[in-house]
Amino acid sequence: MDFSSPQFWIALLQIVAIDIVLGGDNAVVIGLACRRLPDRQRRLGILYGMMGAIGLRVILIFFAVSLLAVPYLKLIGAALLIWIGIKLLLPEHDDGGHEIDGGTTLMSAIKTIIVADAVMSLDNVIAIAGAAGDSKFLVVFGLLLSIPIIMLGSQLVIKLMDRFPVVIVLGGALLGWIAGGMFVSDVAYHDQIEMAVPYAKWICPIVGALLVVTVGKWLAARATAKRAVLVDLAKADSENTPSH
Amino acid sequence: MSKYVIAIDGSVNALRAVDHVIKLVAVDGQNGSLELHLVNVQPPFRRAVSTHISADQIKQYHQEEGMKELEEARKRLDRAGVKYDYHLFVGDPAEVLTRYAKDNGCHQIVMGTRGMGSVSNMLMGSVATKVIHLTDVPVLLVK
């Protein structure tokens, strides 16, 4: 791929979209984890959290790029990407989140951030590597772009996604599309697939996108249906005893 | 006794709806015949976020944001001496408003609208448009 080919520019746009959709949530987690800390600790926590998120992306991308060249590993990458896409379409947990700890100390905030940074950087990096293909330039571009998005963009990204929920669906579809492309381009069986199924290069991405959107929508609808009663949080102020 | 739901999202549009209801009450003399329920709906986080953050923290965040958005509306009603109740939920605003009105046997949903053109309305899919599609309860739009 080079600057003159349309594929290059399409991949570039895909990477921008991926960074926006996946980087925003990372910043939100860092912000939430640090929210209850004293002012100075909070600012330090956010700064280190963001540096960790960016640093992990840099380290992981080199593993991702070289691992994806190993036969059959693109199969795993594609499966992971499908799951990342589906996850993107799911709403908040039924009970509002997981039950580990209150997270009001610096240590617990750091623990939360390290785990979140690791998981979310891996997601982001697999998607970038998938979209960038063999272009080193695009890999580096994807990495660099994720820095301002994590540092500055979270508020903006969240507003965007709240206002236009369709962005999320498109993001999920895009991840599925990239997964399909990754699946079909594995070195181990690439030629056979192309031979056996004409247009596999196009069919697989389309199937991937449809898979993510249908499964994601279905699971999301099930999650909302399960929320049978409305929980009034304003009432929780006075009636509920503190849960810890 | 009529039960009204007023949708509050912290915007000036919602406050226009509040002002309108205050005027209605003033004409009515007392709000003894009008039961007002302010409803605020917070957008949920995505799964990727709630996987890492504790339920308590997320609940607290929603509560704080919701109370902030309710604050000015409550102030105006307090100042006007109008009685009301307030509620705070997490979910899709239109779906929650509709469900709340139905579950509690409300007679009307009052909402402020942005009053935008049809093109941006189509793109953004306003909450008001969705409520009108979903609910059986009369909807009063205040522009």
Q: Which chain A residues touch B42 with a CB distance below 8 Å?
A: 233
| Amino acid identity for residue B21 in this structure | V
- pLDDT recorded at residue A134: 80
Put simply, whether B2 touches A (Cβ < 8 Å) is no
Euclidean distance between CA atoms B40 and B83, whole angstroms? 17
Q: Which chain B residues touch A168 with a CB distance below 8 Å?
A: 46
Provide the whole-model pTM: 0.81
- pLDDT recorded at residue B30: 59
| DSSP characters over B68-134 | HHHHHHHHHHHHTT---EEEEEES-HHHHHHHHHHHTT-SEEEEE-----HHHHHHHT-HHHHHHHH
As given in the structure block, the two tokens for residue A75 are 């199969």
As given in the structure block, the two tokens for residue B10 are 């912290």
- pLDDT recorded at residue A221: 86
Euclidean distance between CA atoms A25 and A116, whole angstroms? 10
Does A93 contact B91 at a Cβ distance shorter than 8 Å? no
- pLDDT recorded at residue A95: 59
- pLDDT recorded at residue B86: 96
Q: Which chain A residues touch B8 with a CB distance below 8 Å?
A: none
- CB nearest B58 (choices: A87, A96, A164): A96
- pLDDT recorded at residue A109: 86
**A206/B2: higher pLDDT:** A206
The model's confidence at residue B140, banded by pLDDT at 50, 70 and 90, is very high
As given in the structure block, the two tokens for residue A140 are 């580096």
Q: Which chain B residues touch A32 with a CB distance below 8 Å?
A: 49, 53, 57-58, 61
Q: What is the DSSP letter of B35?
A: E
- pLDDT recorded at residue A227: 66
**A242/B109: higher pLDDT:** B109
Q: Which chain A residues touch B89 with a CB distance below 8 Å?
A: 230-233
- pLDDT recorded at residue A188: 85
Question: How high does pLDDT run on average in chain B?
Answer: 87
CB distance A166 to A49 below 8 Å:
no
| Amino acid identity for residue A14 in this structure | Q
Does B45 contact A92 at a Cβ distance shorter than 8 Å? yes
Q: Which chain B residues touch A233 with a CB distance below 8 Å?
A: 42, 59, 62-63, 66, 88-90
- CB nearest A95 (choices: B55, B86, B100): B55
- pLDDT recorded at residue B120: 52
ipTM of the complex: 0.76
- pLDDT recorded at residue B103: 93
Does B50 contact A93 at a Cβ distance shorter than 8 Å? yes
Does A25 contact B89 at a Cβ distance shorter than 8 Å? no
Element housing B42 (H / E): strand B34-42
Q: What is the pLDDT of residues B116-137, one digit of tens each?
A: 555 555 555 578 888 999 999 9
Q: What is the pLDDT of residues B50-73, one digit of tens each?
A: 888 888 888 889 999 999 999 999
Instruction: Please name which of B43, B47, B75, B46 lies closest in space to residue B62, comparing C-alpha atoms.
Output: B43
Put simply, whether B89 touches A (Cβ < 8 Å) is yes
Taking the CA of residue A25 and the nearest CA in chain B, the distance in Å comes to 6
- pLDDT recorded at residue B121: 52
- CB nearest A92 (choices: B47, B87, B100): B47
Checking if the pLDDT of B27 tops 80, the result is: no
The model's confidence at residue B24, banded by pLDDT at 50, 70 and 90, is confident
- pLDDT recorded at residue A14: 93
- pLDDT recorded at residue B116: 58
Euclidean distance between CA atoms B129 and A216, whole angstroms? 25
Per run of 10 residues, the mean pLDDT along chain A (length 244 residues) is 83 91 86 88 88 91 87 92 93 63 73 90 92 88 88 72 80 95 88 85 94 95 75 66 38
- pLDDT recorded at residue B92: 85
